[in-house]
Amino acid sequence: PRDDGYSVGDVYPKGGYRPSEGVQRGSVQDLPVYPGDPLTPDVGATKDAKRLSIQEAKTVLEIPVLPVSYGDAQPLLAALGGPVAPTDWRGALPITYHIGPGPARVHLTIHSDWSQKPIYNVIAMIQGSEHPDEWVIRGNHHDGWVFGAWDPLAANVALMAEAKAIGALVKEGWRPRRTLVYASWDGEEPGLLGSTEWVETHADELRRKAVLYVNSDTNGRGFLRAGGSHSLQTLVNQVAAGVRDPQTGVTVIERLRAKILVDGNQKGADEEDKKIAKRVTSGAAPPISALGSGSDYTPFLQHLGIASLDIRYGGEDKDSGIYHSVYDSFDHYLRFGDPDFAYGVALAETIGHVMLRVANADLLPMRIGDFADTVAQYRDELHKLADDLRERTDQQQRLLDENAFKLAADPAETYLPPEPESRVPFLNFAPLDNALLRLKKSAVACDEACAQATRPDLNVNDAQLTRLNGLLQGLEQTLLHPRGLPGRQWYRHMIYAPGLHTGYGVKTLPGVREAIEQRRWPEVDQYMSIIAGVLKAYSDRLEEVTAAVKKMARY
């Protein structure tokens, strides 16, 4: 209850937080290795697909797992003996936490259903009038744990509202220039099943045709929360500048900017909030976040390299206490979520405008400088990570040499000093640093060229625009590497990935970052070169765009 129960606020039904009977369901599939059907990695789970045995599937773990409520957990935890648990192992139950063992015996009976079951995606397509082979894809899942009012229905109704509005336009004779695809995915909660299997089944076609994937998952009252490919950051901010916040009447970007500044300047603000606030204070636009996993954008972005966004509203609601439980109900959403459904309207308006902007743009609305600046920030974080780790390791070794751990320990207790950690060697960041210097230069030139390409006096014809858009469409795919990440080849994006040990949480420049964290030093050099290579390919593509525009300007 420390995170989302009575320790935080009144529990449901009096308040919005998790009652003692609340059980949080969730997938126990090892999603950071690969999502989707555990038996068909890399291929669609069609009727005739070759399947692994359950014993061969890497994402089916061997330890049985069943979630329980904190009310049911209390007598089990209270029965544990042994040493008192460390501070960060303790929750908020009225017991003394021990780490075990204890005298109590628990009888566990397991009934597992290993049968295969069908799932059903719902896909609708509106053919583009000019570029039918360029797809702008919108998705949200429709399955939920129990009632699913917050997750997924609060956002799925926004998707349906968008589709209804666009359908009304089509009935009046309007057509998008690019093809619109609307998808309501099944099987997201057990492991991103519907979206992943659809992506794997249609992978070749999607690589050729997909321009953008826009995802939503849940929605509530509060602030705009957007994440995704940073080449789309300016697009998100431009759309947000045209959407009104339902509660205050200002634009959602104005309200978000105010939130960033307040959070970053209040007492006790964390370092990341401070850095973002400082950049926004100096005139930078509010950033979008990097995406890890946990929703249906994962196969599009992480596996196929399709530029993606995940958009929602929230932060002033009380959804965490009923997440993935039977209490995720219509009553809870009305009382503690978005009572007037105003933010559902805002979500439909926001994503609807993103979809139509991209579907009808002469030139795909990307700003590459945002991506280059963001990756440079990730590189700076790696430098700091390595420096901090080196300093900490050296300090630990000094303490071991001075016998400080033994002297500081209670002589009445058995104590072993920590094992010495491997020294941090010299890490050669030069390939990455050089790749980023070129990327920045190429990004500035490409952004300037794209701005020139849409000038009326340049008279760029349809064939020339199609070539430029084809180059821009494939940009994100250059950030993939066929080797994938260590131990999980399915994840091929070298800039964003879920952490192997952090669940949904993102790791940026993951091949290098996780290698440093785990002290796998040869791997650091390998992935430093791999990331430099994909950034070089990205810069090559940018320079193709710039050269093509310059050639157009001469004629």
Residues assigned a catalytic role: 188
Give the integer Cα–Cα distance in Å for 220 and 261: 22
Q: How many CB atoms lie within 10 A of CB 457?
A: 6
Q: Pick the closest to residue 165 from 343, 356, 311 (CA basis).
A: 356
**Token representation of residue 482:** 């066929």
Beta-carbon contacts of residue 202 (< 8 Å; ≥ 6 apart): 44
Q: Determine contact, residues 531/432, Cβ cutoff 8 Å.
A: yes
**Token representation of residue 518:** 């785990």
Residue in this structure with the two tokens 């743009």, named with its chain if needed: 361
| Amino acid (1-letter code) at residue 169 | L
**Token representation of residue 259:** 């939130």
**Buried b or exposed e, range 477-510, using 16+ CB within 10 angstroms:** bbbbbeebbbebebbbbbbbbbbbeeeeebbbbb
DSSP 148-172: -IIIIIHHHHHHHHHHHHHHHHHHT
Q: Pick the closest to residue 158 from 374, 377, 352 (CA basis).
A: 352
Beta-carbon contacts of residue 136 (< 8 Å; ≥ 6 apart): 176, 178, 179, 180, 181, 211, 212, 214, 355, 358, 359
Q: Pick the closest to residue 119 from 296, 326, 293 (CA basis).
A: 296
Beta-carbon contacts of residue 282 (< 8 Å; ≥ 6 apart): none
DSSP strand E in 426-510: where? 496-498, 506-508
Q: Is 505 helix (H, G, I), strand (E, B) or coil?
A: coil
In the DSSP assignment, the letter for residue 299 is: I
Q: At what angle do helices 252-265 and 233-240 cross, to 10 degrees?
A: 110
Give the integer Cα–Cα distance in Å for 24 and 486: 31
DSSP strand E in 465-525: where? 496-498, 506-508
Q: At what angle do helices 342-360 and 154-171 cross, to 10 degrees?
A: 50
